[in-house]
Amino acid sequence: ENNQKSDSRGALIVLEGLDRSGKTSQSCRLLSYLEGLGHPVESWRFPDRNTGVGQMISAYLANKSQLDDHAIHLLFSANRWEKRSLMESKLRSGTTLIVDRYSFSGVAFSSAKGLDFEWCKAPEMGLPAPDLVLYLEIPPEVICSIIMFVGEIRKAAERGGYGGERYEQLEFQKKVARSYQMLYDASWKAIDAGLPIEDVEKQLREMVIWRSQTFDLKFLVLG
Ligand code: T5A
Ligand code: NA
């Protein structure tokens, strides 16, 4: 009976990486690809800025509100918990979810601010664990020159808005990269995200197809 249930479960595929590493672009492309193969699939993202909690997060990220580092950490986590039952029912009903950022972003970004690593992990415990985490790897220096370049364009285009969101600075991104490294486990696969967009896409496709044959189709618990 267990096997029957698990056979029809969708896969939980998470994309992680530093800011501007290409997660959103790649989740769109992976979505189209899996749809094209006839898989029931949806693309999700965290933070989900559409919920009440998500709107608080969005205001914080745009520097429109101030929050204690612990409080914003718990909001990011709450934003995942408020989607948990829907996430589980989608997976159980056979829909694969491609999720743009998840608990790992939560832990990596907050611990990079100096919060205790174990404290950061605690509220994530019990959320559905991904079958596959695709880490879009790109050196923080490259990310920051892209961010500055985009900032200059924005500044030219609309005056102000320079620097983008709160976390887009080199030293901070370096710390985030180190925190991500501490979260790696067997479900992770690093992808070279410094390549042209189509080449990154190809790596992701290959990884998803290859791993989909080996997914352990049980409901996992994030440790
Ligand atoms: N956060 C998030 C927490 O602190 N805790 C949490 O629990 C969570 C979930 C916002 C912030 O919140 C933090 C992390 C973040 O700092 P967000 O809304 O996901 O999170 O951030 P966004 O700003 O939407 O997205 P990113 O900045 O992370 O960008 P992406 O999605 O990685 O990159 P993408 O695809 O938008 O691409 C950026 C640009 O690069 C180009 C694209 O066309 C685009 O212009 N590009 C490429 N160019 C050249 N070569 C390639 N291979 C390219 N791929 C993309
Ligand atoms: Na994004």
Is the C-beta atom of 58 inside 6 A of ligand 1? no
Residue 81 C-alpha to ligand 1 middle, in angstroms? 22
Q: Which atom of ligand 1 is nearest to the CA of 110?
A: 4
Q: CA 137, 211, 201: angle at the middle one, nearest 5?
A: 45
Considering only 26-30, 64-68, 154-158, which range has the smallest mean pLDDT? 154-158
Token reading at 194: 């410094």
Kindly report whether the peptide bond that precedes residue 123 is cis, defined as omega within 30 degrees of 0: no
Q: What's the rounded Cα separation, in Å, for the pair 169 and 183?
A: 21
SS3 annotation, 81-107? HCCHHHHHHHHHCCCEEEEECCHHHHH
Residue 171, pLDDT above cutoff 50? yes
Is the C-beta atom of 81 inside 6 A of ligand 1? no
Ranges of H-type helices in 8-94? 23-36, 52-61, 69-81, 84-92
Domain spanning 2-208: which CATH class is it, in words? alpha beta
In this predicted structure, what is the pLDDT of residue 55?
Answer: 97
Residue 16 C-alpha to ligand 1 middle, in angstroms? 9
Residue 101 C-alpha to ligand 1 middle, in angstroms? 9
Q: Which atom of ligand 1 is nearest to the CA of 106?
A: 7
Q: What's the rounded Cα separation, in Å, for the pair 81 and 91?
A: 15
Complex ipTM value? 0.97
Question: Percentage of the chain surpassing pLDDT 90?
Answer: 71
Nearest residue CA, atom 41 of ligand 1? 22
Q: What's the rounded Cα separation, in Å, for the pair 181 and 177?
A: 6
Q: What's the rounded Cα separation, in Å, for the pair 58 and 48?
A: 9
Task: Phi first, then psi: give them for residue 78, nearest 5 degrees.
Answer: -60, -35
Residue 27 C-alpha to ligand 2 middle, in angstroms? 9
Residues with Cβ within 8 Å of 153's Cβ and at least 6 positions away in sequence, in order, are none
Tell which residue, 162, 137, 158, 131, has the closest CA to residue 147: 162
Task: Give 129-164 pLDDT, tens digit per residue.
Answer: 999 999 999 988 887 777 777 766 655 544 344 355
Q: What's the rounded Cα separation, in Å, for the pair 76 and 129?
A: 16
The pick from 14, 18, 20, 136 for probing ligand 1's pocket by mutation, whose C-beta has the most ligand atoms within 8 angstroms, reads 20
In this predicted structure, what is the pLDDT of residue 15?
Answer: 98
Residue 126, pLDDT above cutoff 90? yes
In this predicted structure, what is the pLDDT of residue 31?
Answer: 97
Tell which residue, 216, 201, 195, 214, has the closest CA to residue 34: 201
Q: What's the rounded Cα separation, in Å, for the pair 4 and 55?
A: 39
Kindly report whether the peptide bond that precedes residue 196 is cis, defined as omega within 30 degrees of 0: no
Q: Which atom of ligand 1 is nearest to the CA of 26?
A: 35
Nearest residue CA, atom 37 of ligand 1? 22
Domain positions in the chain: 2-208
Beta-bridge partners for 42: 97
Nearest-ligand number for the alpha carbon of 195 = 1
Residue 205, pLDDT above cutoff 90? yes
